[in-house]
């Protein structure tokens, strides 16, 4: 009898630990109607699922238990949440996107030229201009619209559907739900926000391994993972607070730059920007929040950091899913 009880308890533990499945329904915030075929996923990963025609979904979160789940659907703003349990179904309400577009109908040659010019600028800022970007292609350019506001000299970009990208350099098909894109012409700076999910383009991705590894080295993901392990120096990074001479990195438990809360949660804290050197590359982290969460996968709170320099120039063409690891 005791043996039977032990087996039952072991099975229950295994089910909870390795099949952490959440369920829920995706609904329109204004109408309360269900939203069919919404995407439910971890932003920046290859892990996701799709709601059925009635808006219902089941999602196994065991691979990324510390990350918020993201819910996206065509015509709606994406939503992130960590507020869920395994016992009660979720109700996720998405807000519909409302566009007031003034883009003229592209009919004559001058407007076609203007759209081509805007598209080139958008690709440079969105995909990037690194060698990887030369092998990236947006598959649904017709779903992208541009509005130029002369009052603030800003180009705004809207996408009616998720932007689908074939990254033939790294071997990923990317789905990007764009929430906001603005290019400020006066100071030539860009801001964009959205959510991304990756999919392998081929069944044998080993052919892309060398290119993926070279892209990873010196990237934001490489830096955050090295910071987590407290081996920045061993991975080729040199870090200093802005305005100071280069300093040797001090172990996490002694350094005010990083605060640790338990085994799974860490927070970056620095009152001044951090200067980061990697080989011949130079970057800078500018903090927008007092504490910025990050974890061992390379994930960090993107709303808490501005990246400048070489890391700041990394765009979609140079992004890797959080599942990536060096062999």
Q: Where are the domains of the chain?
A: 2-94, 109-205, 220-310
Q: Does domain 2-94 have CATH number 2.60.40.1120?
A: yes
Average pLDDT, the chain: 85
Q: What is the pLDDT of residue 243?
A: 57
Give the confidence band of 248 by pLDDT, cuts at 50, 70, 90: very low
Residue 180 CA to residue 302 CA, distance in Å, equals: 14
Give the confidence band of 230 by pLDDT, cuts at 50, 70, 90: confident
Total residues belonging to the chain? 327
Q: Where does residue 45 rank: exposed (0-12), middle (13-18), buried (19+ CB within 10 A)?
A: buried
Find out whether 182 and 155 touch, Cβ atoms under 8 Å. Answer: yes
Cα Rg of the chain (Å, integer): 22
Torsion from C-alpha of 260, 263, 264, 265, nearest 10 degrees: -20
In sequence order, which residues have a C-beta less than 8 Å from that of residue 78 and are 6 or more positions away? Answer: 70, 71, 72, 94, 177, 179, 194, 195
Give the range among 29-33, 149-153, 240-244, 302-306 with minimum mean pLDDT.
240-244
Instruction: Give the DSSP letter string of 254-313.
Output: G-TTEEEETTTEEEE--SS-EEEEETTEEEEEEESSSSEEE-TTS-B-GGGEEEEETTTT
The CA-to-CA distance between both ends of the chain, in Å, stands at: 46
What residues form DSSP beta bridges with 172? 167, 200
Distances (CA, A) of 186 to 115, 123, 149, 155, 156: 20, 19, 12, 11, 14
Of the candidates 213, 251, 246, 257, the residue with the CA atom closest to the CA atom of residue 232: 251
The answer to whether residue 297 scores a pLDDT higher than 60 is yes
Q: What is the pLDDT of residue 242?
A: 62
Give the confidence band of 264 by pLDDT, cuts at 50, 70, 90: low
The answer to whether residue 106 scores a pLDDT higher than 50 is no
pLDDT over 90 for what percent of the chain?
A: 60
Residue 72 CA to residue 109 CA, distance in Å, equals: 36
Q: Is the pTM of this model over 0.95?
A: no
Query: What's CA 100's distance to the chain center, in Å?
Result: 27
Query: What's CA 47's distance to the chain center, in Å?
Result: 13
């Amino acid at each position: 009898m005791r043996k039977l009880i032990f087996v039952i308890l072991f099975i229950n533990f295994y089910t909870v630990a390795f099949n952490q499945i959440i369920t829920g329904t995706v609904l329109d915030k204004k109408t309360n109607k269900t939203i069919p075929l919404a995407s439910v996923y971890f932003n920046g990963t290859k892990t996701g699922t799709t709601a059925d025609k009635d808006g219902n979904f089941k999602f196994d979160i065991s691979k990324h238990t510390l990350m918020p789940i993201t819910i996206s659907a065509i015509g709606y703003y994406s939503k992130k949440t960590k507020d869920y349990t395994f016992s009660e179904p979720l109700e996720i309400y998405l807000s519909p996107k409302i566009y007031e577009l003034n883009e003229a109908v592209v009919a004559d040659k001058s407007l076609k030229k203007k759209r081509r010019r805007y598209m080139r600028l958008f690709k440079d800022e969105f995909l990037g201009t690194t060698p990887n970007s030369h092998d990236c292609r947006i598959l649904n350019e017709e779903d992208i619209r541009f509005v130029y506001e002369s009052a603030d000299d800003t180009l705004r970009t809207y996408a009616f559907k998720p932007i689908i990208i074939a990254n033939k350099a790294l071997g990923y098909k990317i789905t990007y739900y764009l929430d906001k894109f603005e290019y400020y012409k006066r100071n030539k700076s860009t801001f964009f926000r959205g959510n991304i999910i990756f999919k392998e383009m081929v069944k044998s991705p080993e052919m892309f391994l060398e290119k993926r590894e070279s892209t990873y080295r010196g990237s934001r993901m490489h830096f955050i993972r090295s910071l987590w392990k407290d081996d920045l120096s061993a991975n080729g990074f040199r870090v200093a607070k802005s305005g100071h001479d280069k300093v040797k990195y001090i172990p996490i438990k002694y350094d005010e730059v990083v605060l640790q809360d338990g085994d799974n949660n860490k927070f970056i804290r620095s009152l001044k920007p951090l200067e980061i050197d990697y080989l011949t590359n130079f970057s800078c982290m500018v903090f927008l929040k007092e504490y910025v969460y990050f974890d061992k996968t390379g994930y960090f709170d993107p709303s808490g950091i501005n990246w400048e320099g070489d890391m700041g120039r990394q765009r979609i063409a140079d992004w890797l899913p959080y599942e990536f690891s060096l062999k």
